[in-house]
Amino acid sequence: MNTTLSLLKPTGHLTLGNLLGALRPMALAQDGSDCFYGVCDLHALTVAQDPARLRASVREVATLLLAAGLERSTLFIQSHVPSHSELAYLLESTAYVGELNRMIQFKEKGRGQPSTRASLFTYPTLMAADILLYRPTQVPVGEDQRQHVELTRDLAIRFNATYGPVFTVPELVRPALGARVMDLADPSSKMGKSHADGSGIIYLLDSPDVIRRKVARAVTDSDTGSDAVRRDPVNKPGVTNLIELLEAAGGSLESITTYGALKTATTEVVVELLRPLQVRYAELAQHPDHVQARYAAGAARCREVTAPVLLDAQAAMGIG
């Protein structure tokens, strides 16, 4: 059976974009592959976090993964599996400053700023460890993480050539096609959980009233023609986003001719899509012990699965 691996950063409340673009494909992958899904709290530390908020965010994301139907997977919290940071250090000791310096995300988010955390610079090696520890043969990757996964391959190839064949070099593949949801208030940018202005972002735990209000205020345009409700990503990004959201959430455009009707229908399907998830979340939130036990068992399995890979890497390098 092939191995599927995916990590979510606990850097805010999860959004409808995360559900349709990530959690839904992750749930589907459970058929036919051994899935490891983690909350990557260590990656969150590459920028300043309030400790109490980080803890709350980890708990919320962990509970949401269960509520979103990932219960057939091995669920874990990254910092509970120490081999991730141990292997990251070994990989840091094979990576070159030059190649880390070329990472686009580092260039855009931190290079040249004196108070950028060192971990923002080295985190691609932690990400490489996250992947290589589980020996997946394929890694589905979207555009924004492509360069990091290519680096993962380079590090694995270099390690194997220098120290002996320890790592499986994963192949990059296209991700299962999830929807891409844009910000309702700014349809030129992705709906992202860490954006400061949440007015155009639907969070998974938003109440029906809040969802209604956010969709009602979604940016459209002043087109009043009989064919105003149509896809046109270039000239009508807001309307296009609402149509795609409506359809991704299970609705249909049939007989919808006005923006008002489009917004009402979109609100309805989104509220219905989120209802069972929110009910399940509320139940799980009443039983934190159950959630904790699931993640403790998941971390135990991760420690077991990753231990031989770490040991092999250590032995090959002459330590451990």
193 binds ligand ATP (CB under 6 A): yes
CB hemisphere CA count around 200 (13 angstroms): 21
Task: Please give the DSSP secondary-structure letter assigned to residue 319.
Answer: -
- Binds ligand ATP by CB under 6 A, chosen from 69, 116, 150, 192: 192
Return the residue matching tokens 């390690």. Answer: 159
Per-residue contact string for residues 141-170; x = within reach of ligand ATP by CB under 6 A: -x----------------------------
Distance CA(18)–CA(22), nearest Å, equals 5
Using CB positions, name the residue nearest to ligand ATP: 21
Residue 258 CB, shortest distance to ligand ATP, in Å, is 26
- Size of residue set near ligand ATP by CB under 6 A: 20
190 is known as an active-site residue: yes
- Binds ligand ATP by CB under 6 A, chosen from 81, 90, 191, 239: 191
CB hemisphere CA count around 6 (13 angstroms): 24
21 binds ligand ATP (CB under 6 A): yes
22 binds ligand ATP (CB under 6 A): yes
Q: Are 168 and 136 in contact (CB under 8 A)?
A: yes
Instruction: Quote the Cα angle for 300-304-310, to 5°.
Output: 125
Active-site residue among 107, 190, 214, 236?
190
Distance CA(94)–CA(154), nearest Å, equals 10
Distance CA(95)–CA(70), nearest Å, equals 34
- Binds ligand ATP by CB under 6 A, chosen from 15, 125, 152, 266: 15
Footprint on this chain of ligand ATP (rule: CB under 6 A): 8-9, 11, 15, 17-18, 20-22, 142, 178-181, 190-195
User: Which residues participate in catalysis according to the annotation?
Assistant: 109, 190, 193
